[in-house]
Amino acid sequence: MSVLRYVCLSDLHLGADYSLLTGRHGGHADPGKPGKCLLALGAAVRPLLRQLPVDTPPTLVLLGDVLDLGLSPMGDVAQAFQHVAEQAMLDEAGRPLFAPRVLVVPGNHDHHLWRQAQDHGYLQALRGGRIERDLADLTPPFADGAGAPVACPLLDALLAQVPALQGSHAQIVYPNLALVDDRRQRCVVLHHGHFVDAVYRLMSTINALMDPDAPPPTVAQLEQQNGPWIDFLWSDLGSAGATGRTATTLYEVMRDGGASQQYLEGLSDLVLDKLSSGLGLSGRMTVTQGVALAPLVRAAIDATVGRGAQSQRDSYLDLITPADVADLRWYLDGPLRQQLEGHGLDPSALDMAFVYGHTHKPLQDELPLPGGGRPVAVFNTGGWVMDQPTMTRTQGAAAVFIDDALNLASLRLFTDPVDGVMDPVQAAGTGGVRDRANPMLAALHQAVQATQAAWVPFSQAVQRSTEHRAQVLLERYFDTDPAGTDTVTTPGTP
């Protein structure tokens, strides 16, 4: 019998104005109270979990961008998370729904959690009498064992604010969490998705242009090279005062072709200035085959951030673009394969699944890889946000359920309503052979059917919330302010 072990959520963006789970008042975020969508979610999740076979409470996996530290003040984020803990992590009697250990895989908007964990780990080593050479770049990918996971001080403190959860604690596995069955035949890897996105690999792209003969980066090198870049973009600008508020307009810039080109030119100048002042590298210096550093940097930024700007404008109708598929294959068959092989696993011989978020577009499918072996089952957990006001069924959120045998099923919670119609909550698999012998999918489907009465008000709450937020965004987009006095607060990028 299938026994539920893990429930995975991502991209809640708690505290942000554009998060569907953050409370609202007068058309703006009000983190001091739980949002209506959150209340409806909690009311539906509780009976659903009672319908699923368990022997112990399942582990909650927070798969990145749960806290919107990139664009929201810390106080807003903390209040919003506390509401989630109270409304979606406790049953009707106030008892915990999930195991005491919460697993956290930080993303780009809450990359600051990993920075805190790095510092905490280093201090722990010092207190133990060891002086490590440097901060850790990553943890081992497993939830148990030496070196993994590590403490998450911020979420530990926030969980302790809820009396019923004072025995709970959060632990980080970064950037990949790998679950392996006892026979080492099946493996599920969970990653927020930022290293699948070329925008957040910019510095690795520049390094590759400067040294074309260098091998592809490892997972550790991706973090070494791009971690500061992620921090620079989004990780904790929410507490940066006026600078953080200004950063929220970047999303608008990325929508406009002329404005984004100006932004990219300015960003190129900034990166070149940093290379010059920090490393003494001149933009005129020849890097490879007679090409100077400056044009290489500009080309790299245009190919990553520029491509991201283009996708922000053009890809909302596409669930996953050919470029996205290429990036996903690159990560799975490159850095991830190398990391798993380094821990004694042969991905080609495994029944593999990959769970990620980041794109805010939930999906489930099978992806063949060039390295051979069985196609990888790919699940995306979507996002709880209103990114842009054009309603499409590509945008939405899901939760991924994993049983004790590492079978996966997606709880498709919502997609944007189109013409006033929203898809019902439903269980979904990859649509392939895996679905025919997937007890987790069958159990989740039965649980959804048995709790339909609780999911109807949830869908209604989400529909009202998404339509309201879309209207607010449309009003902002078309509100011209000749005097230039209007302060625009806009949603952020994935």
Please give the pLDDT value at position 190. Answer: 98
Q: Is it the case that residue 488 has pLDDT exceeding 90?
A: no
pTM score: 0.84
Top-ranked range on mean pLDDT: pick from 184-188, 229-233, 297-301: 184-188
Q: Which CATH class is domain 4-197+322-477?
A: alpha beta
The arithmetic mean of pLDDT across residues 116-144, rounded, is: 90
264-315 per-position pLDDT tens digit: 566 666 666 766 676 666 666 665 555 566 776 666 666 555 555 455 434 6
Please give the pLDDT value at position 176. Answer: 98
Please give the pLDDT value at position 180. Answer: 96
Work out the angle at residue 430's Cα, subtended by the Cα atoms of residues 307 and 141, and round it to the nearest 5 degrees: 70
410-461 per-position pLDDT tens digit: 999 999 998 888 999 999 999 988 999 999 999 999 999 999 999 999 999 9
Domains in the chain: boundaries:
4-197+322-477, 198-314
The arithmetic mean of pLDDT across residues 337-354, rounded, is: 95
SS3 sequence, 128-179?
CCCCCCCCCCCCCCECCCCCCCEECHHHHHHHCCCHHHCCCEEEECCCCEEE
Q: Is it the case that residue 390 has pLDDT exceeding 70?
A: yes
